[in-house]
Structure 1
Amino acid sequence: MSDELDLLRRANPVPADGPHFGDGPLDHRAERRLERLLAQDRPVRRAPRARLLWGLAAGGVVVVTALAALLGGPNSRPALAAPRPLTVHAHSTPVPLTELAELAAAAAADGSPRLRRGTHVQSWSLGLADGTPPVTLPEERVVRWHADDSRTELVVATDPRHPGRPVLTDAGGEPRTVADGHVLSRTTYPPSWSDAPPEAPPPHTPAALRAYLAETARTDSLDTPELLDAVRELLGHWMLGARESAALVRVLADAEGLRPAGQVTDRLGRPGQAYVYAGEGGRRMLILDPRTGAVLGLETTFGQDAPEYGVHAGDVMEYSAWMR
């Protein structure tokens, strides 16, 4: 009986402003919803990463993970909707990647900043469930390596779009709100090293870096979606130096279908140049620093409606913003 009551409280089939109050009977809709909740025991998981979603969406199928319940109760904060996609500034001039590559090479002449192991990334990922509005799960992750090749990973619930406001998280398996800046995990890993990408240091010449990214993607023929996936994975392990960023822009300049779109302001308020790849399943927007070519962000948006999840074409599936 206690399990049923817990499920009922989270589902909130009888809201405070509904036609039934207190211990009154459930209507047919509420009874069906409670039966569905009791019949299903779906684990709470974070939505799959963009690579899996992109590949499936390209085949015409949108695969999402279910959140078992979304903060029920009449006093709960409303679910946070997906962030709006970034928009290119009106009348801004697109900068070709070949031109940006020249700027990046000039900026890298003194070799500063240098390549650094670790990452600092702010991410927003979408959680979806049948019959409920989509929710955005924001977090910040910092990975620092130490002299003995051990590393520490810190994950914090925070959303710079709404400083000081509670943040929705699914850490620990149950969706809930936590205070801005709440530490979700702090983990120290023992010394480790690998000479295979992406753990191995990336090279700083275009040809060698392209081969490195192909090995990261485990493919001999690196297409543009695989290239962008490999870049995301690389930035999960390394903060690129000026020379590596310049080499990466040269590699990106040869990518088929990655077109310049114009100037944007990223989700951390930084100016950037946007480069867009539109495939069958959706759109990816890569944001690069207009002076150095460093990767600032990567946004993935849905290419088609998924009404059963409250998702429309153009909604943001995932966004990452990298910092040093």
Structure 2
Amino acid sequence: MADELDLLRAADPAPAAGPHFGDGPLDHTAERHLARLLHEPRPVRRTRPRLAWGLVATVAVVATALTLLLGGSAGTPALAAPRPLTVRAHSVPVPLADVAELAAVAARDGSPALRQGTHVQSWSLGMSDDKPPVTLPEERVVRWRADGSHTELVVATDPGRPGRPVLTDEGDTPRLVEDGHVLSRRTYPPMWGDAPPLATPPHDPAKLRTYLTELNYTDTLSTPELLDAAAELLDNWTLGARESAALAELFAKAGGLRPVGEVTDRLGRTGQAYVCDDGSGQRRMLILDPATGTVLGMEAVLTRADPDYGVKAGAVMQYSVWMR
């Protein structure tokens, strides 16, 4: 306000030192000051402390991240949120029984072999009561050593947007980080155990089913529970040919998994898709390599909206792809 008063005084056509009640035109100085007052931006005083500006910047980054993620007001698709996988038009569905037979043939030479550890890329939808849902992509690599110790590396990355900033909730606050940003890097001391998932998974289908039942902490193993247990197994072990064949046989005998055709996963690999409804409002999809029975990925998609969390039907709740 003081700045504006100074300008007004400087633009006064009848200053106290001049002729009273003057009726003539403004002099050059008064015209210049009046033009500044009418046409130049209002001066801004930077009186907020630096910390407050830092908080404003943080909020702006989070708002930008959520806008990129959730889409703009025009309904632009969310950049970080993957769309559900779609079945390739006119592709021929391959029955699970056929995949199990092919996998058994491929496993006769026992190659590749089972390996402890995993390499998995995942997208998961985080929801809360007071924040918009956000999709968080990350990659995890676990490698075991001969002495029983192992390392775990987790990075924020999205293969669908290479080199682009990635949204993460590191520190419980959504924020953008550089592609490949290390979220955690840990080394664990030697560990051994005779219970899943530390115990070596068997390649006999009946024994593998028992193993997965124990891993899932259940007495029975429904098809959705089988999918959950298989995902947990793959988050700890990279299956060999014989273990993949045994798991394919379990999928074939489980029932409820409908073959729907060929899909391309989020790493560009081609596989056969099998879907089931889990009874809780989610459609589960299993993607297999039809020649070897290897699990390429799994996807869970909401079949009905959840307005309490601001999630629409068709949202990808969870998606994982496993690599060797």
Determine if the TM-score, normalized by the shorter chain, exceeds 0.5. yes
- Counterpart in the other structure of 1:105: 104
Amino acid at match of 1:302: L
Q: CA deviation at 1:290?
A: 1.7
CA displacement 1:180-230 (0-9 Å, x = unmatched): 111111100000011101211110011111111111112221111111110
Q: Answer with 273-282 or 139-148: which moved more.
A: 273-282
- Counterpart in the other structure of 1:289: 289
- Counterpart in the other structure of 2:190: 191
Q: CA deviation at 1:6?
A: 6.8
Q: Establish whether residue 71 from structure 1 lines up as the match of residue 70 from structure 2.
A: no
SS at match of 1:78: helix
Q: CA deviation at 1:233?
A: 0.6
Deviating above 2 A after TM superposition, structure 1's stretches of 4 or more consecutive aligned residues are: 1-12, 75-79, 127-135, 307-310
Amino acid at match of 2:291: R
| Structure 1 residue ranges without an equivalent (≥5) | 13-69
Amino acid at match of 1:169: T
Residues in 2 aligned to 1:224 and 1:4: alpha-carbon distance in whole angstroms: 52
- Counterpart in the other structure of 1:248: 247
Q: Quickly say closer, same or farther: Cα 1:8–1:178, change in 2 above 3 A.
A: closer
Residues in 1 aligned to 2:116 and 2:65: alpha-carbon distance in whole angstroms: 41
Residues in 2 aligned to 1:156 and 1:10: alpha-carbon distance in whole angstroms: 21
Structure-to-structure mapping, 1:106-185, within 5 angstroms:
106-129=105-128, 133-185=132-184
- Counterpart in the other structure of 2:206: 207
Q: CA deviation at 1:280?
A: 2.5
Amino acid at match of 2:180: G
Residues in 2 aligned to 1:186 and 1:6: alpha-carbon distance in whole angstroms: 28
Q: CA deviation at 1:7?
A: 6.4
Q: CA deviation at 1:310?
A: 3.2
Q: CA deviation at 1:78?
A: 3.0
SS at match of 2:225: helix
- Counterpart in the other structure of 1:315: 315
Residues in 2 aligned to 1:149 and 1:279: alpha-carbon distance in whole angstroms: 37
- Aligned 8 A contact 1:271 1:290 in 2: no
Amino acid at match of 1:290: P
Amino acid at match of 1:311: V
SS at match of 2:212: helix
- Aligned 8 A contact 2:160 2:266 in 1: yes
Aligned length in residues: 265
- Give TM-score, length-normalised by structure 2: 0.77
- Aligned 8 A contact 2:65 2:167 in 1: no
Structure-to-structure mapping, 1:220-239, within 5 angstroms:
220-239=219-238
- Aligned 8 A contact 1:258 1:275 in 2: yes
Residues in 2 aligned to 1:306 and 1:77: alpha-carbon distance in whole angstroms: 19
- Counterpart in the other structure of 1:64: none
Residues in 2 aligned to 1:309 and 1:122: alpha-carbon distance in whole angstroms: 25
Q: CA deviation at 1:135?
A: 2.2
Amino acid at match of 1:183: V
Higher helix share: 2
| Structure 2 residue ranges without an equivalent (≥5) | 1-47, 70-77
- Aligned 8 A contact 2:216 2:225 in 1: yes
Aligned-residue sequence identity (percent) comes to 66
Residues in 2 aligned to 1:184 and 1:167: alpha-carbon distance in whole angstroms: 12
CA displacement 1:51-96 (0-9 Å, x = unmatched): xxxxxxxxxxxxxxxxxxx703xx6673323210001111111111
Q: CA deviation at 1:261?
A: 1.1
**Which protein is bigger by CA-based radius of gyration?**
2
Q: Answer with 230-239 or 308-317: which moved more.
A: 308-317
- Counterpart in the other structure of 1:257: 256
CA displacement 1:98-117 (0-9 Å, x = unmatched): 10001101111110000000
